[in-house]
Amino acid sequence: MKQHIEPPKDSKLPQLATVLNVRKMRDVFRNYWAAMGAADNLQITGCNIERVKYKPGKNCQISYQLEFVDANNGKTFQQLFFATVYPEKQSQSRYQKALRQPLVQPQIGEPVFHFPALEMVIRAFPNDRKLHGLQQVLQPEILSQIIIPDALNSAIGEHRHIEKWQHEVVHFVPEHVCTVKVDVQLGGNRPQTESFFGKVYYNDEGAKTIENMRRIWDSPLRKNGTLNVAKPLAYYPQWRSMWQCGLPGGTLLDLGFGSDAFMKMIPKAAEQVAALHRCELQNLPEINHKSIAEKLVAVQQMLEKTGFAKTEKSAGLVKQLLNQQPFLSEAPVVTLHGDLHLKNFLTNEGTVSVIDLDSLASGDPVVDLGSFIAGMLNMGIQKRLPATQLRKVIGLFLNAYQRASSLQIDSAKLRWHIAAALLTERVFRAITRQKSTINNLPEYLVILAIDIASATDAPGIFKSLSSFPGFSSQLWEGKPFLSDYMA
What digits encode the pLDDT tens for the residues 373-400? 999 999 988 888 888 888 889 999 999 9
Residue 406 lies inside a defined structural domain of this protein = yes
Query: How many domains does the structure of the chain reveal?
Result: 3
DSSP 323: H
pLDDT in the model for residue 481: 45
Contact between 6 and 439 under an 8 Å Cβ cutoff? The reply is: yes
Question: Does residue 5 sit within a domain?
Answer: no
d(CA 121, CA 180): 25
Between 179 and 435, the higher pLDDT residue = 179
Q: Is residue 188 over pLDDT 90?
A: no
Residue 145 pLDDT class (50, 70, 90 cuts): very high
Domain end call among 223, 245, 267: 245
pLDDT at 444: 87
Residue 441: which CATH number? 3.90.1200.10
Q: What is the pLDDT of residue 470?
A: 44
Q: What's the pLDDT score for residue 38?
A: 66
What are the tens digits of pLDDT across the range 36-95? 776 677 889 999 999 999 999 999 999 999 999 988 888 898 999 999 999 999 999 999
6 part of a folded domain:
no
Spatial contact of 475 and 390, defined as CB atoms under 8 Å apart: no
Interval 123-150 mean pLDDT: 96
Radius of gyration of the chain (CA): 24
466 is a domain residue: yes
Q: Considering the entire predicted model, what is its pTM?
A: 0.90
Domain's final residue, options 68, 94, 124: 124
DSSP 61-115: EEEEEEEEEETTT--EEEEEEEEEE-STT-HHHHHHHHHTS-----SSS-SEEEE
Q: Flag whether pLDDT at 478 surpasses 90.
A: no
Per-residue pLDDT band for 408 (boundaries 50, 70, 90) equals confident
Considering only residues 283 and 475, tell me which one the structure prediction assigns the higher pLDDT: 283
Enclosing domain of residue 167: 134-245
**Based on the domain organization, do 241 and 222 belong to the same domain?**
yes
